[in-house]
């Protein structure tokens, strides 16, 4: 990963703040305290706080709908008696993980806080339409008695990729964030007699991720549940052992209140909280969260999915791509995507100036306006035009307007985009031979809808929704040569399918 690259992209993103943001997801996204988003049988599922633990499902990760309360599929329709006895009859802030052929769904069951329990439900399918859909009560996993320095809510479940062990973090402000090990076969505590490990204070919504020998503890600081008055923000520390100590970027232990900022209010969204990792394969990572207030949706709390980036050994919260005009630069070649028409110098052909570059002039020459299609488009071929790559020249055939395609759906964290030569209807289009053209008009066909995922180093992957006639997926814009783009199967191990989006 290149920190320099990330910086360049951050600068580019800053230049683009003037354009409207892309809305966070679509459909029924009103949600609080979302679980980790899980994928099963081609669908996406997430669970949140609410009566009976509301479930949400999406066919594409973009458009969400309610799938009924989980408790409807639990015998008795409510938390089991031991959970009720240790905690209470609320159902908040769940988390979920697949282990073997079952799903473990942990949920907060607080009574009069900080008396609370975290209950476990076990199921074999997430699909409410399946005849096998049922959740079995597996009792309380951890609890707090109302006096001890812990409030046992907000479970976060984590599988250590190094050895497959399963862990649960939990807690909320009152005392410590705690860690216990789970039995991957049952989902219950592996060593119930052992005292939980205290790993952080002054936070909630804890969860762990791991990368390159580091364990990262992500928690939410600040206040929740007050709309745009909420100061929720996601912070983190890291450790070499799963049990800590988790130190922030200044070496302060999270047990002493440390925490490097991961995500705060941005754009039109206030109060991010409840991090969840969503690994989409091929090394593409995103994260789920909720905002306490989405200002574009009247200040309600909503789910969002955003890119997860990495810099200097720390996770970085990426931003979903705002609509705007970009140069699409190959990370491999440094050349930019362009419609294959003869280029015209910006301002038209002109000499360097009388007397050469060092000659004195009475007054500075006037500025040259940026090149627009109206300046040069009359010379462009009509109809279908090839696509190629060339050096950055700031020319009109190199500027692409990337904007959400209306009513075209999307994928996890992003709508499908239309990619057009700025100021024209000429759109980037995948062809049946897995190559590229610029078509004269947008039809809305899947070969003109582009999925754009930001990758861990800040670059982007651009994939057509479909290649005409192809039965397989995974095709991505690829730089096969300095002047030659194509579509190729995405490979995460190099720069061929990585693109940098820059403001021209």
Partner 1 sequence: MMHMRSPLLVAAAVVSFAAGTRAIQPPGPRPPAASLSRPDSPAKAPDAAGFIRRWLVLEPIAVPPQLGEAAVQKLVKDARFADQLNTNPTAGERVAVGDQQLVWHALDTRGYNLNLFHFAYALGKPTSNVLFWVTTTVDAPRDLPGVRLAIGSNAASVWWLNGQEVIGLYNDRQAVIDDGVSKRVTLKKGANVIRVAIVNGGGATDFCARFIDEGGRPVTGFTARVTGEGTGR
- 295 contributes a contact to partner 1 by CB under 8 A: no
395 binds partner 1, rule: CB under 8 A: no
- Among residues 20, 13, 56, the alpha carbon closest in space to that of 38 is found at 56
* DSSP helix/strand/coil, 376: helix
CA distances from 12 to 16, 388, 491 (A): 7, 23, 25
381 binds partner 1 (CB under 8 A): no
Output 425 or 433, the one with its CB closest to partner 1.
433
Q: Is 468 in the site for partner 1 (CB under 8 A)?
A: no
Residues numbered 64 to 93 that lie near partner 1 (CB under 8 A) are: none
From 15-23, 160-168, 267-275, 475-483, span contacting partner 1 (CB under 8 A): 475-483
From the CB of 342, what's the least distance to partner 1, in Å? 5
- Near partner 1 by CB under 8 A, which window of 111-119, 196-204, 209-217, 479-487? 479-487
Q: Is 5 in the site for partner 1 (CB under 8 A)?
A: no
Helix (H, G, I), strand (E, B) or coil at 93: strand
Interface with partner 1 (CB under 8 A), residue from 32, 274, 426, 496: 496
Alpha carbon 387 to chain centroid distance? 30
**Least distance in Å: CB of 427 to partner 1?**
20
Stretch of residues binding partner 1 (CB under 8 A), selected from 67-75, 358-366, 431-439, 459-467: 431-439
Q: What are phi and psi of 85, to 5 degrees?
A: -70, -40
Stretch 330-359 residues interacting with partner 1 (CB under 8 A): 342-343
Number of Cβ within 10 Å of residue 471's Cβ equals: 6
CB of 346 to partner 1, least distance (A): 15
Residue 422, CA distances (Å) to 197, 338, 370, 426, 445 in order: 56, 11, 12, 8, 19
**Options 24-32, 153-161, 418-426, 432-440: segment touching partner 1 (CB under 8 A):** 432-440
Strands 484-489 and 475-481, sheet pairing: antiparallel
At its nearest, how many Å lie between partner 1 and the CB of residue 231?
49
Query: Do β-strands 417-421 and 400-404 pair in parallel, antiparallel, or remain unpaired?
Result: antiparallel
Q: How far apart are CA 450 and CA 438, in angstroms?
A: 13
Q: Compute the 3-state secondary structure of the chain and give helix, strand, coil in percent, each to the nearest 5.
A: 10, 45, 50
Other Cβ atoms less than 10 A from the Cβ of 493: the count is 8
Under the binding rule (CB under 8 A), the answer on residue 434 touching partner 1 is yes
**Would you say 99 or 397 has its CB closer to partner 1?**
397
In whole angstroms, what is the distance from residue 160 CA to residue 351 CA?
A: 64
E-only strand ranges, 244-333: 260-263, 269-279, 285-294, 300-311, 314-317, 324-330
Looking at beta carbons only, is 117 or 479 nearer to partner 1?
Answer: 479
Contact region for partner 1 (CB under 8 A) — 420-428, 433-441, 445-453, 460-468? Answer: 433-441
As measured in angstroms, the least distance from the Cβ of 435 to partner 1 is 5
Residue 481 engages partner 1 in binding (rule: CB under 8 A): yes
- Using CB under 8 A as the binding rule, whether residue 183 contacts partner 1 is answered as no
Among residue numbers 231 through 290, which ones bind partner 1 (CB under 8 A)?
none
Q: How far apart are CA 495 and CA 332, in angstroms?
A: 5
- Asked if residue 483 binds partner 1 (CB under 8 A), the reply is yes
Asked if 259 contacts 315 with a C-beta cutoff of 8 angstroms, the reply is no
Point out which residues bind partner 1 (CB under 8 A).
342-343, 433-435, 480-484, 486, 488, 496
């Amino acid at each position: 990963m290149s920190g320099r690259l990330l910086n360049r992209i951050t600068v580019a993103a800053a230049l683009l703040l003037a354009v409207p943001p892309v809305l966070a997801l679509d459909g029924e996204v009103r949600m609080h305290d979302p679980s980790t988003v899980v994928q099963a049988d081609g669908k996406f599922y997430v669970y949140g706080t609410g009566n009976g633990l509301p479930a949400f499902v999406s066919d594409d990760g973009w458009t969400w709908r309610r799938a009924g309360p989980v408790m409807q599929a639990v015998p008795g329709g409510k938390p089991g008696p031991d959970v009720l006895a240790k905690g209470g009859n609320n159902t908040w802030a769940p988390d979920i993980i697949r282990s073997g052929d079952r799903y473990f769904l942990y949920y907060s069951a607080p009574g009069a806080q900080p008396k609370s329990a975290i209950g476990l439900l076990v199921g074999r399918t997430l699909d409410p339409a399946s005849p096998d859909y049922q959740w079995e009560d597996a009792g309380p996993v951890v609890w707090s008695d109302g006096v001890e320095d812990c409030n046992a809510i907000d479970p976060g479940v984590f599988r250590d990729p190094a050895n497959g062990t399963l862990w649960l973090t939990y807690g909320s402000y009152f005392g410590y964030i705690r860690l216990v090990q789970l039995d991957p076969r049952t989902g219950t505590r592996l060593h119930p007699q052992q005292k939980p490990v205290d790993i952080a204070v002054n936070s909630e919504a804890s969860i762990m991720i791991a990368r390159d020998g580091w364990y990262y503890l992500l928690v939410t600081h600040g206040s929740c549940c007050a709309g745009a008055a909420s100061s929720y923000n996601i912070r983190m520390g890291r450790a070499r052992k799963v049990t800590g100590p988790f130190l922030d970027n200044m070496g302060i232990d999270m047990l002493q209140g440390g925490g490097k900022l991961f995500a705060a209010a941005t754009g039109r969204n206030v109060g991010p909280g409840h991090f969840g990792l969503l690994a989409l394969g091929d090394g593409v990572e995103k994260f789920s969260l909720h905002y306490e207030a989405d200002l574009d949706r009247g200040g309600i709390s909503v789910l969002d999915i955003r890119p997860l980036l990495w810099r200097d050994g720390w996770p970085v919260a990426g931003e979903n791509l705002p609509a705007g005009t970009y140069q699409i630069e190959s990370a491999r070649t440094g050349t930019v995507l362009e419609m294959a028409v003869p280029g015209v110098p910006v301002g038209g052909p002109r000499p360097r100036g009388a007397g050469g570059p060092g000659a004195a002039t009475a007054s500075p020459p006037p500025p040259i306006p940026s090149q627009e299609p109206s300046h040069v488009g009359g010379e462009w071929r009509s109809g279908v035009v090839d696509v190629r790559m060339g050096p950055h020249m700031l020319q009109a055939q190199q500027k692409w307007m990337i904007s959400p395609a209306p009513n075209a759906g999307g994928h996890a964290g992003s709508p499908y985009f239309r990619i057009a030569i700025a100021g024209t209807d000429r759109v980037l289009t995948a062809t049946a031979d897995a190559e590229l053209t610029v078509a004269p008009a947008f039809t809305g066909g899947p070969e003109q809808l582009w999925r754009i995922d930001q990758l861990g180093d800040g670059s982007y992957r651009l994939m057509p929704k479909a290649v005409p006639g192809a039965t397989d997926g995974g095709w991505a814009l690829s730089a096969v040569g300095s002047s030659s783009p194509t579509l190729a199967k995405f490979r995460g191990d190099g720069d061929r399918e990585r693109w940098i989006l820059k403001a021209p």
